[in-house]
A and B are shown apart, each in its own frame.
Chain A
Amino acid sequence: MQIEKITRQGYSATLSKEVLWDIYKSMKMQRLLEDRLLKMYKGGQLSGAVYPGIGQEACMAGIGAGMDSKDIFGGTHRDLGVQIKKGVTLKEIALNFFGKNDGPSKGRDGNSHFGVVDKGTLMVVSPLPDSAPVAVGWALASQQSGSGVVAVANCGEGATATGTWHESVNMAAVLNLPVVFTVQNNQFAYSSPNDTEFGTPNVADRAAGYGIPAKIIDGNDIYEVIDAIHDSCENARNGNGPSLIELVTFRHYGHAGHDPAEYVNDEVREFWMKRDPIARFEDALAQEGLFTTEQFVSLSEDLEAEIKETLDWAKNQDDPDPKNEELDMFAERKTPKIENSENNKETMNFIEAITNGLDELMDNDENVFMMGEDIGVFEGAFKATKGLFNKYGPFRVIDTSISEGGFTGAAVGAALAGKKPIVELQFYDFVYPALDQITTEAAKYNWKAGKPVPMVVRGPTGAGTRSGPFHSISPESLLAHHPGIKVVAPSNPYDAKGLLVAAVNDPNPVMYLEHKKLYRKPDLKMEVPLGLYEVEIGKGKIVKEGSDITIVTWSGMVSVAEQAADELSKDGVSVEIVDIRTIVPLDEEIILNSVEKTSNLCILQEDVPFSSIASEISSLVAEKGFWNLDNPIIKVTPPNTHIPFAPVLEDAFIPSVEKVVKAIKELQ
């Protein structure tokens, strides 16, 4: 077979013989390893899946070789070659494939779904290209700190059709971030050819839409790949912003081990087999007189032996212990709780307490920064960032494009890079596009990759401002259902600041819910200490003691509970009010203790009832407090509908004092 020749011209021409051998070795390692894994998979010796990147070795080794060792890579399941080139060991890969305890994901994810952040590879997840916004966030942190790190965000051509990719490229372009977007166009998105995925002739054509430079290169020419990646990375490192490289290549096998790829016709296959990246590299190395065929054969034999030996070794390593199943859901906080004498106080309303907290947090720690829509010059839709842009500037109070998924994912990357990002959602209703990043990336990082993600997603929640169905949700149950994230919902200015400080200093993703009706509620003004202090996450508070019935509530409903308690006291009913303050982790003890005291429970929430926090608390008390109950548990909630606009409808939707009083009176 005639092999198309390649030659060294740019940066690759400067590489030493040893460096070239190392690159060749990593390509060979990838091919032999994946070939072996594929055989084991087909022979029933391997669970899960294998996603062979055989045929794309030059893309992967070239990306790895073109990057600086400190640069970060966010890729996909078909990027083992990059991981190998970035220094991830054969042992680490083998352990992950067998789901072993000592593997990079501790058996929590299998096969190529892992990253080793300390070696510069981000966690691989299945929704693609979800690591792209994370890579963008790392680049943002690099830009802020001047570390010179470039992020390479890689995916296949199929994943470029997603909003996530679009938001990532757009954000990087707008903020001029040091990111190189690489797209390995291997002709098929699973089974779908290019013309079913995008309307431009090439992926690279899209770069014009973002105002960034792009290149189309032969992804099977190792030298061209190394040169293009190197040049783009250096460009980005020098402050010239992001670029896009389309690496045209071909996947020798199907999407995964089970896929025979019968959708590829023989002509296409033949075209590409002539351009096999390893054969071309060997040919070029031999032509230059650097290495001989005997050396290639001998390396293959050595690698095959090493692979066999390592896989046999990995197979016999310890499985994870199911009793540790619940470990690592949250990272443990290692810094001490922040306390001050709280002597110096100022009267503030709810939003002033938040603004004051944000200001002091940013003043205290330069790693704290904010991202969100209209939060800079305009100071936010609700003015929560009042004065902050002027004080801290555009690199720490960042106005973002309308890309909730993009900037929330960027917060994950920035957090991994050592920052403490605070994301503002203009309305918490817009958390939906961000949920993928919150649950796929933020919530799973510590569990699956052992890396804490200290970030806060804050924003206004709740109804009552005539804002209709898309500016009014109470998202607590929506969020709390996902393991791995904390959820807090303060009800007064003191707790608002204290919980914000605790949230920013927590090593985990914390969803911070601000009921917008509380922002400027005149009777909620109170003295708030100046200087940083914390209200502990996971601890509720008894806001009113009583003996006849417990109302468990939080956020905007606490004041409703207080008014209902006043009404009921006229009839001699003594109400105890528990403000849980934190939804996750829930303070079970304070609830159970109060029910033990009163024997009656009413749960009051503004969120809709089905499958909600009220249901969860009801279930908790039925399971752990059953023998203390004197009446059925009651839930006072809105109907299970969307939030309506018309004032009469909205007023009827939100639980009122009258509804609480009536529900409790019916019990007695």
Chain B
Amino acid sequence: MSEIVTMPQLGETVTEGTILRWLVQVGDEVKEDDPILEISTDKVDTEVPSPFSGKVTSLMVEEGETVEVGASLLELDGDSSSPAVVEKVKEKGSSEENNINEPVKEIIEEVKVENTDLSPAVKNNNLKLSPVVRKIVSENNLDLEQIPGTGSGGRITRKDVEAYMASGNSTKKQPNDTLSQKDVKQTESPKATTGEISRLRRRIAENMVMSKQTSAHVMTSVEVDYENVEILRSKHKKSFKEENGFSLTYLPFISLATIYALREHPVVNSSFDLDKDTHTIHSHINLGVAVDLNQEGLLVGTLREADSFSLKGLARKISDTSVKLREGSYELDDVSGSTFTISNNGSFNSFLTSPIINQPNVAILSTESVKKRPVVIEAQDGTDSIAIRHTGLLSLTWDHRVFDGSVALLFLNSIKEKLENSDWSQELT
């Protein structure tokens, strides 16, 4: 059992001492209380008695050296003649060990807990944002959902926001010849891969190109004030969800307005075959609704004889169809025979889209995102005021071979007029 003799504190003001002279050498046997060295402090020059008995195994400081109170001076190989002292020192040693290790252990444990929490928490949208994150996000108009959080519980930290902004800027703004090492590293990280094209992707690719080669695409759009729809929707949102198990979106309203408008403008609900020299105006409205297969492809589901559905019926049919298509449990009838198609780009927060016509249709409607925007409202007495309204664009890509701009706009404005002015409250009660 080895013992260490340390620099004593001789008086409350003393913090260091100088070793004047060693009174023992390595190999000497010393007894408890034998003088072992002389030290000099600010207050006193004195001999230090050995606190233990044993054989000197090491002198740890030189004569003349000045060391802090508590510094190790000498090592003794202790004998068993003073067991009480040894035991006491052992206890002290082990308790110190605990003191040092304890906080470290705690930290490791806590970090572990945080790590297991991390992944589910990242997806939690209700995470608290710190003041500085709120400030940077708002100053730079950033989308929080795009920023991965690495802080405690997946919280987004200032560093996360800055890293996100740095990565965005580097791809947008950095010219090739000034790419920094950091930027190069980032572009290297995803590995290049080559694979086969899926059957679905191939069909989509062929159809898209075929459509572009077939029709004369023109895109036209109008702005719609959805406040009328919004009032109704927010009023029934909760009860509708409870009753039907899915949310009441804008899409059923737009679909219903489109069906009414198609009735007024049947040429938009037609097929056109220049080679065969035929132009077919359809009697029924089979409404195609583009369904995104979770970013792995696109299918157009068909709501056959959609003009026979009520608003609720349309809502349910749209919901059922998209579920069917996404689950892959559809039949040929569910994805063929549409006479007009709606592509709901608003659900992915679009501002304006120019969709490709779903052949052999002659037009396709894209619904764009609905947002609160300031709108100038003119009162009956002619005074203007600014109001906050839910508005969004509706854009139509149409085939200029079949009809002209006037028809397209009359059709679009008919949808707009219905969305803004129809009273659909009966449909939802």
Which A residues lie at the B interface, using CB under 8 A?
381-383, 465-467, 471, 516-517, 519-522, 599, 626-631, 648, 658-659, 661-662, 665-668
Residues A599 and B132 in contact, CB atoms below 8 Å apart: yes
Main secondary structure of the interface of A (DSSP, over half): loop
Q: Which of the residues B13, B42, B104, B106 comes within 8 Å of A465, measured between beta carbons?
A: B13
A517/B12 in contact, CB under 8 A: no
**Contact among A382, A521, A522, A599 for B13, CB-based, below 8 A:** A382
B9, B13, B106, B131, most chain A CB atoms within 10 A: B13
A519, B103: Cα distance in complex, Å: 30
- Docked pose: A521 CA to B100 CA in angstroms: 23
Q: Which of B150-158, B219-227, B260-268 contacts A (4 or more CB under 8 A)?
A: B150-158
- The reply to whether A467 and B131 form a contact with Cβ atoms under 8 Å apart is no
Interface contact A522-B103, CB-CB below 8 Å: no
- When distances are taken between beta carbons in the complex, the residues of chain A under 8 Å from B12 are 465-467, 471
B-side contacts of A661, CB under 8 Å: 103
A-B contact pairs, 19 of them (CB 8 A): A382-B13, A383-B42, A465-B12, A516-B13, A521-B15, A522-B66, A599-B130, A599-B132, A627-B132, A627-B135, A629-B132, A630-B131, A630-B133, A631-B130, A631-B157, A658-B103, A658-B104, A661-B103, A667-B152
- Residue B67 lies at the interface, judged by CB distance under 8 Å to chain A: yes
User: Closest CB-CB distance, A28 to chain B, in whole Å?
Assistant: 62
A519 to B41, CA, bound (A): 13
Tell me the minimal C-beta distance from B43 to chain A in angstroms: 9
Known: A522-B68, A599-B158, A666-B110. A628 touches B15 (CB 8 A): no
Chain A nearest CB from B148 CB (Å) reads: 16
Question: How far is the CB of B60 from the nearest CB of chain A, in Å?
Answer: 16
Which chain B residues border A383 with CB–CB below 8 Å? 42
A22 to B95, CA, bound (A): 82
Contact: A630 with B42, CB < 8 Å? no
Given the complex, which residues of A lie within 8 Å of B106, measured CB to CB?
A: 662
Taking a contact as CB atoms closer than 8 A, the residue among A520, A631, A667, A668 that contacts B15 in the complex is: A520
Q: Is the CB of B9 within 8 A of A630?
A: no
Q: In the assembly, what is the distance between CA of A102 and CA of B106, in Å?
A: 65
For residue B416, give the distance in angstroms from its CB to the closest CB of chain A: 43
Q: Is B292 an interface residue (CB 8 A)?
A: no
- For A626, the closest partner residue in chain B by CB is B131
Interface size on B, residues (CB 8 A): 28
- Nearest Cβ in chain B — how far from A515, in angstroms? 11
Contact with A along B59-74 (1 / 0, CB 8 A): 0000000111000000
Say whether B16 faces chain A, with CB atoms less than 8 Å apart.
Answer: yes
| B16→A659 contact, CB < 8 A | no
Interchain CA distance A516-B69 in the complex, whole Å: 14
A668-B131 CB under 8 A given contacts A465-B13, A516-B13:
no
B379 contacts the other chain (CB 8 A) = no
B277 shortest CB reach to chain A, Å: 70
Q: Are B130 and A659 in contact (CB under 8 A)?
A: no
Are B15 and A630 in contact, with the CB atoms below 8 A? no
Determine how close the nearest CB of chain B comes to the CB of A345; give it in whole angstroms. Answer: 20
Contact B131 A627 (CB under 8 A): yes
Q: Are B16 and A522 in contact (CB under 8 A)?
A: yes
Q: Is the CB of B158 within 8 A of A630?
A: yes
Shortest Cβ distance from residue A326 to the other chain B in the assembled complex, whole angstroms: 29
On whether the beta carbons of A630 and B110 are closer than 8 Å, the reply is: no
Are A662 and B13 also in contact (CB < 8 A) when A630-B133, A668-B152 are?
A: no
What residues of A have a CB within 8 angstroms of the CB of B95 in the complex? 648
B151 and A668 within 8 A (CB)? yes
CB contact list, B112-163 vs A, under 8 A:
130-135, 151-152, 157-158
The complex places the Cα of A658 from the Cα of B106 at a distance, in Å, of 12
Q: Which of A382, A517, A522, A630 contacts B132 (CB 8 A)?
A: A630
Verify if B1 is at the interface (C-beta below 8 Å from A). no
Give chain A nearest CB distance to B99 CB in angstroms: 8
> For the complex, is B274 an interface residue (Cβ under 8 Å from A)?
no
Which has the most chain A C-beta neighbours within 10 Å: B107, B111, B131, B132? B132
Q: How far is the CB of A654 from chain B (nearest CB, A)?
A: 13
* A470 CA to B130 CA, complexed, in Å: 42
Cβ B132 vs Cβ A520 within 8 A:
no
Per-residue A-contact encoding for B1-45, CB less than 8 Å = 1, 0 else:
000000001001111100000000000000000000000001000
- A466 CA to B14 CA, complexed, in Å: 11
The answer to whether A520 touches B9 (Cβ under 8 A) is no
Given known contacts A466-B9, A599-B158, A630-B157, A519 and B15 CB-to-CB distance under 8 angstroms? yes
Please indicate which of the listed interface residues A522, A599, A665, A668 has the most CB atoms of chain B within 10 Å of its own CB.
A599
Q: Complex: how many Å from CA A522 to CA B42?
A: 13
Chain B residues with CB below 8 A from A516, complex form: 13
A629 vs B131: C-alpha distance in the bound complex, in angstroms? Answer: 6
Q: Contact: B100 with A522, CB < 8 Å?
A: no
Q: Nearest chain B CB to A547's CB is how many angstroms away?
A: 9
